[in-house]
Structure 1
Amino acid sequence: MSKNNTKSEGAEEEQPKGKTCFVIMPISDAEGYEPGHFKRVYEYIIKPACTKAGFTPVRADDIKKTNVIVIDILQRLLNSDMAICDLSSRNPNVLYELGVRQAFDMPVSFIKDEVTERIFDIQGFRDIPYNSSLRIDEVNKAVEDISENLKETFKSKGDDINSVIELLGITKAKLPDKVEISAETDLILKSINALSSRLSSLETKNVSFAAPKVVTNAANDISITFNAVDSVGQVVKVSDRVKHFKKGMGTVASIVSVGREIIVSIEFDSGDTGKYTNPVASVIKVINSDN
């Protein structure tokens, strides 16, 4: 959609050198698409198109800071010179980010694959199609078309209607010159950041409550390696002295592998016998072992 062109003939065109383009698109796998599909769309189509148009692409998962990711996304979304929005799969996060960008009446290029139906609220805006098959010839054409659209959209900002806000004549949102965060909000954000960092740290550790690993030696004796909760594996075999967290000391009588399950039988000093399926190191602690 175009407004009356108020630029004078022969005026120098604004160039997008050294500028950034925020990429609004599905990041996770989506129903109806092969695993990793949108990662390939980003790598093979969007990134090359942005680079060809003179923009540095920035996507949400490119942000490596430890801040709350939503805050980082919104800051990049509003501070980037340009944005490209992939409407494919009608992802709700994508539409939310697009709504924020359009509320500030900032330029956006739209793209969409051929299998996604148009979205009613924004169907009046031009989108550049690409083929979801990602065939090399189709990819090359899409890169060229999207690159040109990025450049055109950036150059015509202020002249073309690029958002519903401008179409309806509504006053666009404005970013304040300075945002001051209260001490209480700052404390909450720091606490959230600390919690996020701790969760990330836990995710990277070798923590597992899954079935222990079966180990068979040259004599064909079965032993197992626990997937210990403290990331330190320990091996237990027949005749080892062990300690159960409730029943106390005992001796491993047998270890049997049944399919994907490991059954450990222990004769306790109290006279009891216990059988444990897929035990973890938090339940049975090895006291002495030749391993």
Structure 2
Amino acid sequence: MSTTTSQTGPPPGRAQLLELRNCFVIGPVGSRYADAGSAARQVHERTIQLFEAVIRPVCETFGAVPVRADQLTRDGEVTDQIQHHLQTADLLIADVSDGDPTVLYELGIRRGAGKPVVLLGEFGRLPAGLPEHQTIRFERSRDGLATARETLMETVVRALRGPDGSGSCESPEEDPGLLEQFVDLETDLEALSEGMATMTGLLLTIAEHLEYHGPRLQRVARDGSPMSTQLAVSRQLAAALAAPAAGLKVSAAGFAARLAHVDPTVHAALDLFRSVPPVRWNGDDRGFLAQLVDLSAAARNEAANLAAFRFILSTLTAMHSELAIPAGDIGTAVDQLGAAMTRVGAWDDRARLLSG
């Protein structure tokens, strides 16, 4: 669920000293048109109950009238309009109950804007990894919702004032939590894909040099050319391979290090997917799973190509020691990528299982 608020007049009482021009509210969407008693209908009813009993009254205290989210989207897709509100609203209120993947993704966008955020979550339905001390936890009862409303009012006031007057309700010194890690995850996966593309380019360069120099090396050896001629050709090949082989070694090390760094966050994201029924996923959610599968396929292909080049160069090195250095660099890259494949393979297995 996402809502916007519009200003209707100066808020009364203690809120009148604070300016809240607009507020954006996100949370599980569900469906009001689903069958009674269905999971989607229950999600919708819980969301509306929290909105009407807790969030709307607080917004109205500040003179703002909430506008329902499904006026912006019907299928949970994060549209350009929603992204604009996520990045520009004075305040974001998020219902994180059940760890809806779209909500966490939207929170990630909001965190990047560096503006105030207030989290709400029902007891027993909070996703792992969220900062509990920053989340208003509530019971879904008359008294529980009334308490949540009062707590939300106080929290909104603090959020707008900020602990240092900056308008932020979070300390910049805090260690990044799961939400911040999800923001980084998108960047890291893009970087992994770029790293894979870099390694592919280097492999193509190595292949071109082998295609050009390899037959020459075999020909001078077969024809019984003087050792000086064979040595000259092998040195030419070694010189041609030196830069791309060294670059491949560095790229593979960077790929493996970044992959190891992002591995826990990927599994945390997959854990969230496992806890949410697939009927509540949207295109972005399925796109994330497809991205993991594609990355795994590309990594397997890269590892196979590297292993093939390693075999070719090890054969040539047995006869031409000048090739030992580039062959060693490629061998190191093979080992680094091979170790990373265990992690990528686990992503692939889980993503395929979740995708059905």
TM over 0.5: no
More helix per residue: 1 or 2?
2
TM-score (norm 2): 0.37
The structure in which a higher percent of residues are strand is 1
Q: Which protein has the larger Cα radius of gyration, Structure 1 or Structure 2? A: 1
TM-score where L is the length of structure 1? 0.45
